[in-house]
Each structure stands twice: as structure tokens, then as C-alpha cells.
Amino acid sequence: VLHDVLRFFWKHDVNLRRIESRPSQLGIFDFFVDLEGSDQRVDKLLASLEEYGVQKLLILDEKEVTWFPRHISELDLVANRVLDAGTDLEADHPGFHDQVYRKRREELAEFAMKHRWNKSIA
């Protein structure tokens, strides 16, 4: 499916500068893309993707609008970016040598990466 969707970028001459995938539900992935192209080409690309059956698109244009979540579920789109650095600590961090702290930090980060707003907390 990803291969088919990427063909639309080629067809409409829209450059894909970055693509990132994250699991969102069992067997379902969210894809985040950074693209460049004229407004006209991007509009045609988005129309083609919608016709193909892409169900959800969130367009962020940093030049025009600063993004702010309008619904709590939108926080799931960016929450994992906060944890992209992982659970590794710099040597000057106060908890660097505390193995109990590091283990708990890793558990919390793993939980946060998997959690979605509408899922119950076990």
C-alpha cells in the first residue's frame, strides 16, 4: 500500500523530503511526511490521495499557521516526537548512575509511546 501511495507523489511531482511511520493500532500505522511542491501540485496530490482512499490527512503549513491541537486525540500525532531522543541520559544528568531511576524512566517512556488518548490505562 505504501508503494502505491508513494507513486502519487511521483505522479504529481511533489518531493518527499522526509517520511516517518509510527504504529498507532494493531496492524495500522500513521505516516508523517514533509513535502515540498507548488500549492497547485500539492492540492492535486491531496485530491488524488483522497480518491485513492487515504482516510485521514493532517496538513501542517509552518509558513502560515502555528499548529495547536484542537482535540486531545491530535496530541497522539506529536507525543512520540517528544520521546524521540529515547530513554538514554547524558552523563551529566542527575539520574545517570541510578539504575532504578533509569529502569523506571524506560518503562514510562515505553508506556507513553504506546498510549493513545482513547485507550484505557491498564
Residues 61 and 3 in one domain: yes
Give the integer Cα–Cα distance in Å for 18 and 38: 17
Q: How far is it, in rounded angstroms, from Cα 64 to Cα 109?
A: 32
Alpha helices by DSSP H, listed for 28-98, are: 39-52, 76-82
Q: Cα 34 to chain center, whole Å?
A: 11
pLDDT in tens, 18-35: 887 777 777 777 777 888
Whether 12 and 52 map to the same domain: the answer is yes
Per-residue pLDDT tens over the stretch 67-86? 566 677 776 666 555 555 55
How far apart CA 98 and CA 42 sit, in angstroms, is 50
85 and 39 within one domain: no
Tell me how crowded residue 80 is: count the other CB atoms within 10 A of its CB. Answer: 19
Query: What is the rounded average pLDDT for all residues in the chain?
Result: 76
Residue 66 C-alpha cell reads as 502555528
- Residue 59 pLDDT: 64
pLDDT at residue 118 is higher than 90 = no
The verdict on 52 and 83 lying in the same domain is no
Domain extent for 108: 68-122
Same domain as 52, residue 78: no
What is d(CA 15, CA 56) in angstroms, rounded to the nearest whole number?
20
Q: Which of 47, 66, 85 is the last residue of a domain?
A: 66
CA distance 99 to 102: 5
Number of domains in the chain: 2
Same domain, residue pair 6 and 31: yes
Q: Is there a single domain that holds both residue 11 and residue 25? A: yes
Q: What percent of the residues of the chain are helix, what percent strand, and what percent coil, each to the nearest 5?
A: 40, 15, 40
Residues 113 and 72 in one domain: yes
Q: How confident is the model at residue 65 (pLDDT cuts 50, 70, 90)?
A: very low
For 34, which DSSP code? Answer: E
Question: 74 and 44, same structural domain?
Answer: no
- Based on the domain organization, do 52 and 19 belong to the same domain? yes
Tell me: do 10 and 62 sit in the same domain. Answer: yes
